[in-house]
Structure 1
Amino acid sequence: MNKQESSDELNLSNLLFKFGRYWYLFVLVPLVLLAATWVKVQTTAPVYRFHSTLQLADRATPGSRQAQEVLTPSESRNDLTSVEDEISVLTSASLVQQALDKLDFEVSYFDVTNSLINKLGDLKVQEHYQDAGYTVKLDTIAPQVTGVSLYLELRPDGFYHIQGEADKAYLTDMRTGAVLETIDNFTFNEVVRPGQLLRTRHLTLTITPTDSIRSLPEVAKRYFVINHPQALVGEYQGKLVVEPTERFARVLRLTTKGSVGGKETRFLNTLMETYVLNDLVDKNRKGSKTFEFIESQITKVADSLRRSEAALASFRASRGMVDAGAQSSSGIGKISELENQKAQLLTTRRTYESVLSALRTNSSEEAVSTWASAGVNDPVLDSQLSDLAQLTSQRAGLAVSANDDNPVLQALDSRIQSRRQSLQRSLTGLIRSSDATLADITNRLASIKTAINQMPENQRQEARLRTQTTLNDQNYNFLMQKRTEAALMLATNVSDKKIVDRAQLSDSAPESPKGKQLYMFAVLAGLMLPAGFLLLRDRTAQTVQSADELKRVTNAPFLGLIADAGRKIRLARMEMPRSAVTESFRTVRVNLQYVAAGPDRRVIGFTSSTSGEGKTFCCTNLAAELALSGRRTIIIETDMRKPTVAGYFGFDSRHAGLSSYLNGECTLAEAIQQPDIPNLAILAAGPIPENALELLEMPRMASLIAELRKSYDYVIVDAPPLGLVSEYYILNQYTDVTIFVVRHRYTQRNMLSQVQELAQRQTGNQQLYVLLNGVNFSSTYEYRYKSESAYYTA
């Protein structure tokens, strides 16, 4: 547990140390983001939220509630108004279009203020509505260019100068929204008198100043934009939100957002008014159709009544009769009663046939209207037709915002078709039942009439005419009653929807931009971005980052680390005696003397994976430290392809060296050079040969190593890099200790596989060690304390 806590504390401290090294990023990035946020807040128009509320009816009714006596309580469920359907209608493009057609939103007015930030461009823009100081009246019959900023300037002579340009403009039919032409590189430059019609190929409008123009502040620019009708509908439809105030509530809350309060409140109010008006118009249309149907029936029945009354009066006058007498009153009464039943049954049967015919022609609305106007009392058909009317209403509401492929719409069509088929079967059965009843009444009438035939002919004819007149009079009175009811329903029609709260501002604080939140986000992002960058860089680094990483990746023992010299240093002991790099070489020298003790540990080879890792730097400086500690040391530079050792000691690179000795061009004594450092000898590479590899393979090289073993305490071999040439695999047979140099944050991790490969080649008492070079103590958490090591050096 303590080990885990210590590891967590180390990781956190290491992380904070890395962040501290780049403290300026944690200051600069937040400042830049705060500045960008300030510009964003200053240039973004504040957007406010507005809302209104609308109440729906509990159930759909064709007229006022006071005039409704058609549905029974048990059947009222079928006419419940669907909240989802009404929301779909309220948010439909067609209703939004109707509302916008009643508003003057086709032109938007803007000002570019004289603020300091607008010196960088038209960044801070303010929109106006009814207070811009002028109005633009469009000729909607003529096509107009939409979406282009048209700048307006009042000249000293009182004329308006209009100019604008755009890479692409659209000539639009304002009535349909169709794009008539796309104009590339559009430019406009015209002068017009206030109140005068400007008619051009691309614009037809009139600009009229208002009284408020005298009190308007000075601005940098004024311009207006003609909005595309369909784009305007899409904009308002996109930001309109309609939802119930509570679950299962029938009060809807309409919400929209915008930077100009006058436009948003007018839009919400007009949208609700249009919605309520459409509902009333729809009710009046249904009532008018019912009234027209009853009127047509009254005309027919009134004509029949006049003919029957005229026939009765004519018969009595021709026969000199006033009353047929009481003799036939009983039979005539029965005939009258049966004829009345037959007439009502025929009327009911015709109603059934009318409704059935309407259903077969897929006219559900006509079927419902015919049934409602007939006044037939049949609860079963009432329920079924009410259900059909509800399904049809739901489909009409959904069809506003859905196409024929919508699965919900298809399901409603299937339910409507099933209800129609069920009604057709019911009506067919009722018609058959009516026919049977009519046949029975006809038989009974025939029987009574046979009995009456026994009466005198005049009495019989008078009774027949009087019965027909009575029947027509009853039908006429019945239709007149229904006509009065339909007229009352039409006269008292009101919408079931009601505006509860007109549009108003929801909150005095803007919806966006929220300055405090944006500034807090900018600060957090400014801290998180550099932190994330540093963590990502650390995690994705492909180079060796620490000694711990070396220990994890390789099995070779770790010899030590060398501090970064910070500049071009050759011999640190001579140039920087009191530095961390000099102290680190002392430490490595002590470690090396410990692991390389004994007569069989005298030849020490230095190599690396590639050039630039400081192999020669470590080799020469460590050899200097060994020599200064009293050990007789010689450096053999076997990297004859790219020799650099001579330059470390100020020798001439053309002087005889290893290549000269191996070629037999000089003696060993002539090849060895003595620097100013006591106990140190240098056998530099000499002139660059063409056959470096072959020279190292000669027996003369083996003899050289054997001879130097006897003459020196340490033989330091500066070998070529493993990753570039293969000489070290030849030299490896002569070395007792191999030191593989890795440069901090330079050597690639994948190159460490060469350490493992080299370790497998070690035989007998040969040993391999890893040396980490170029460690910047001040920038490395693990070794930050060593940056003070120079203070402890004598």
Structure 2
Amino acid sequence: MKIDINDLLQVQDEEKVINYKRLFFLLLQNWYWLVGLTFLGAAGGYLFGQFTPQTYKIDSSIIVPEDKNALNLGSLFENDMPGLGKVTINNEIELLKSYTLNHRVVDNLNWRTAWYEDDFLIWKGLYSKEPFLVQETDTGVNAEGVYLRLTPKENNQYRIEADGTGLVNNEEVDISFSETLTLGEPFQNEFFNFTLHPKEGAEKLEDREFRFVFQNINKQTFNYLKQIQVVQTDKQGEVIRLSLEGAEPLRNIHYLNELIRVYLDLKLELQTQTQKRSLEFIDKQLSGISDSLNVAGTTFTEFRSRNQIIDLSAQGTLVMEQLSEIERQKSQQQIQLEYFRNLLTYLEKDENINQISTPSVVGIQDPSLNALVLRLGELYSRREVLSFSAYENNPTLVLLNKEIAQVNEQLRENLLNLIDNAQISIRSLDARQTRINSDLNNLPGQEQQMINIQRKYQLTSEIYTFLLQKRAEIEIALAAAVVDIQIIDPARMERIVPTGRGNLILLIFGAFLGLALPVIVILLADQLNSKIHLQEDVERLTKLTIIGNVLHSRNKSELVVIDHPTAPISESYRTIRTNLQYKFSEPGQKVIGIHSISPGEGKTFNSTNLASILAMNEKKTLLIGADMRKPRLHQLFNLNNNNGLSNYLVGQSNTNDITQPSLIDNLWVIPSGPIPPNPAELLERPRMQELMDWAKKEFDYIIFDNAPVSMVTDGLITCRYTDLNLFILRYGVSNKDQLKFINEITGKGVMPNAALVINDIKLDGYGYSYSYKYAYGKGYYAEK
């Protein structure tokens, strides 16, 4: 029978389908591993629950309005600050999880040491219940990260010991020592320098076991970054929930509350820095103008007193007012020009724009300039916040830098135009001042001096008043500044939720792991095992018919059907004999080829017993030893191998010379004969066809015992003369890949009308064919 290529593809697809029946019997075969490890897993889960400290979850929640002004400065600067402080929930979550912010929290809390007490195989944390006070010296060094074991003794003495690795000046060192000291007595060695002081009740601590560790602030920060959970409770909402889980709930409560406090302070600091810079700028200007105003006022008063001048003439008053207005305008233009130049310098140096005051502080009311400066300041603030948690290649940060560059370029072009305009205005004012000064020269000398002094005084006073007004406005705005972030629920003891798994859950989980481990190992071993162990291994890998299953023989006899006719294995061959009539679909078909892929699969054993069972059915049977490379057939029947198939094929003998009767009625044997140098070439000779023509006339069945087909081509030659080709596969020995080879040669028509015989099936477990165990294992057949 030729196997269609589509059938082979279907077989490959079926390989991917899980056979649950096969898996069931595979696991049932190893039931003792499943039961034992499930019990051990359940016991381990129970013990884990008993010796694992109870953990608790603490949470806190805040509202962070999205896309709104996060800082409320009142109405003074609302028009000057479009879009200031816009936030997004994702950015705020990253800020709360940033290393920089959490490092500040750990630094503020100053948890220099952590204490634990031995509580029967576990170390219980003693946060806020430390048995002793640890006093460090300003100059001493204490190794961080290594646990110091401490046992209080009588008379305020204690034993302290360490054995581990710690950090000294950020370098790892091995530490090992054991000493006995007195409380209040300094402890010093090359690794530590501290003093333990007793707390109230310390005399009741004798023989209890404690340990403490000097903590590294960087490692503390990293530990909390691993533990803290910051999530948005609802994708459409503005609520952020922060949570921590651990064995010391009070410690986590303090941490969460401090984190929120530091977060709010940072937000306020980031969002008011522009106003603080403006305040610093005004204070610096006021410091210089105050002295100038005092000097100008004193000079003006002394001049009037000395020259007894009370008022100016009408012409002098007009000239002074004109000059004062020009100088006031000129002064404003010069201040603005200086501001423009300073701002341009910042842009060219690519410095943070938040370090310069807003344009409105110096009286610049240009809407375009104000909008660009505030927009750039906002972008720098957003980048500063984002930089707490994002790397340089972060897509959001990259886009933000591009936007900063664009706004920077727009602002630079605007400033160049404003500088040109300011310089033109100053030159125009200079020209007007020159013309008015000619009128001033026509006035009396004292009046000219009076005008100059009074003009300088009034100008300084106006600038001073203007700056004081701006300063008051900014101080009021800063005093009213609030961060538009609300704390919904601070972390507190009432919100503690136990999270330690219950003993029942741990027991079930442990049992599940105990069961899963052997299941995984068994299934993995099965996948890695390429041998045939189950009938489904064959059925899912080939479409060839399994014509029979040969059970394992417990007898040493090779001719089991003769020596043990009532044994189950003999019934296996009777089943094969019956099934042959279904494979011989046409009259005259009588030649059977017995093949194997590799040696040791029972090819000769099955050839001999199949031929014997046919002969026992009164069928004249001829068994031909076609394996002329490693012949063994003659040994089973105790025949002479000096004259056999090889002699006939080379023309040395005839059919009567090589055909030998066996001790079994109706069974004749042609042994392989002496081993020739060229067995395949001999099988190709015309005499082989002559032998088959003679045998078909004389015998009812002809059986070829062939050499393994994967090693030599002998079997592929003899299959030209066969009507049925049986491949022998041995349970636990044959490889699954052999079926692919069989599929290939049968699918291409090289080996026509092929079928399978599974050999050596054991019935002592849930192995290859559980149905056969049921059929043959009930004692209907008994081996003798």
TM-score bucket of the superposed structures, by smaller chain: 0.7 to 0.9
Q: How many residues align?
A: 741
**1:669: how far off?**
11
Change in Cα spacing, 1:790 to 1:706, as seen in structure 2 (3 Å) is farther
Q: Which runs of 5+ in 2 are unaligned?
A: 1-9
Deviations 1:187-207 (A, max 9, x none): 333443333332222222333
- Equivalences for 1:65-76 in 2 at 5 Å? 65=73, 68-72=74-78, 74-76=79-81
- Matched with 2:742 is 752
Query: Aligned partners of 2:768 and 2:704: how far apart in 1?
Result: 30
Deviations 1:331-361 (A, max 9, x none): 3443343244234313312320331232133
- Matched with 2:184 is 195
What code does the residue aligned with 1:224 have?
A: F
Q: Pick from 512, 523, 526: which aligns with 1:523?
A: 512
Residue 114 (structure 2) pairs with residue 79 (structure 1): no
Residue 421 (structure 2) pairs with residue 435 (structure 1): no
**1:710: how far off?**
9.2
Higher relative contact order (CA 8 A, sep 6+): 2
Q: Pick from 315, 322, 335: which aligns with 1:351?
A: 335
Change in Cα spacing, 1:16 to 1:761, as seen in structure 2 (3 Å) is closer
**1:425: how far off?**
2.8
Residue 641 (structure 2) pairs with residue 658 (structure 1): yes
Change in Cα spacing, 1:791 to 1:228, as seen in structure 2 (3 Å) is same
Query: Aligned partners of 1:368 and 1:661: how far apart in 2?
Result: 111
Residue 665 (structure 2) pairs with residue 679 (structure 1): yes
- Are the counterparts in 2 of residues 151 and 163 from structure 1 also a CA contact under 8 Å? yes
Change in Cα spacing, 1:543 to 1:193, as seen in structure 2 (3 Å) is same
- Matched with 1:615 is 603
- Matched with 2:548 is 560
Query: Aligned partners of 1:457 and 1:158: how far apart in 2?
Result: 94
**1:508: how far off?**
0.9
- Are the counterparts in 1 of residues 573 and 613 from structure 2 also a CA contact under 8 Å? yes
Change in Cα spacing, 1:711 to 1:334, as seen in structure 2 (3 Å) is closer
Query: Aligned partners of 1:28 and 1:310: how far apart in 2?
Result: 110
Residue 730 (structure 2) pairs with residue 743 (structure 1): yes
Query: Aligned partners of 1:768 and 1:250: how far apart in 2?
Result: 73
**1:255: how far off?**
3.6
**1:307: how far off?**
0.9
What code does the residue aligned with 1:99 have?
A: V
RMSD value, Cα? 5.4
What's the TM-score once normalised by structure 2's chain length?
Answer: 0.75
> Please, which moves more after superposition, 94-103 or 359-368?
359-368
- Matched with 1:584 is 572
What's the TM-score once normalised by structure 1's chain length?
Answer: 0.74
Residue 215 (structure 2) pairs with residue 227 (structure 1): yes
What code does the residue aligned with 1:741 have?
A: I
**1:311: how far off?**
1.0
- Matched with 2:299 is 307
Change in Cα spacing, 1:728 to 1:430, as seen in structure 2 (3 Å) is closer
- Matched with 1:121 is none
- Are the counterparts in 2 of residues 309 and 469 from structure 1 also a CA contact under 8 Å? no
3-state SS of 1:351 partner? helix
Query: Aligned partners of 2:234 and 2:590: how far apart in 1?
Result: 91
- Are the counterparts in 2 of residues 606 and 739 from structure 1 also a CA contact under 8 Å? yes
Query: Aligned partners of 1:741 and 1:260: how far apart in 2?
Result: 69
- Equivalences for 1:137-536 in 2 at 5 Å? 137-139=135-137, 141-155=139-153, 158-166=156-164, 169-173=165-169, 179=170, 181-183=171-173, 186-211=175-200, 222-242=210-230, 252-277=240-265, 286=277, 287-316=279-308, 328-329=313-314, 331-362=315-346, 368-369=356-357, 371=359, 373-374=361-362, 379-401=367-389, 407-408=398-399, 410-411=401-402, 413-415=404-406, 417-418=408-409, 420-425=411-416, 427-432=418-423, 434-435=425-426, 438-439=429-430, 441-442=432-433, 445-446=436-437, 449=440, 453=443, 474-475=462-463, 477-478=465-466, 481=469, 501-504=489-492, 508-510=497-499, 516=505, 519=508, 523=512, 526=515, 530=519, 534=523
Change in Cα spacing, 1:237 to 1:717, as seen in structure 2 (3 Å) is closer
Query: Aligned partners of 1:418 and 1:99: how far apart in 2?
Result: 38
- Matched with 1:93 is 99
Q: What percentage of aligned pairs have identical amino acids?
A: 22
- Are the counterparts in 2 of residues 632 and 712 from structure 1 also a CA contact under 8 Å? yes
Query: Aligned partners of 2:62 and 2:467: how far apart in 1?
Result: 39
Deviations 1:492-544 (A, max 9, x none): 77777665543246661428899849945963894697379549836974659
3-state SS of 1:774 partner? strand
**1:553: how far off?**
5.0
Change in Cα spacing, 1:247 to 1:304, as seen in structure 2 (3 Å) is farther
- Are the counterparts in 1 of residues 286 and 467 from structure 2 also a CA contact under 8 Å? yes
- Are the counterparts in 1 of residues 286 and 464 from structure 2 also a CA contact under 8 Å? no
Query: Aligned partners of 2:761 and 2:243: how far apart in 1?
Result: 63
- Matched with 1:51 is 59
Change in Cα spacing, 1:251 to 1:436, as seen in structure 2 (3 Å) is farther
- Are the counterparts in 1 of residues 334 and 426 from structure 2 also a CA contact under 8 Å? no
What code does the residue aligned with 1:129 have?
A: Y
3-state SS of 1:742 partner? strand
- Are the counterparts in 2 of residues 172 and 228 from structure 1 also a CA contact under 8 Å? no
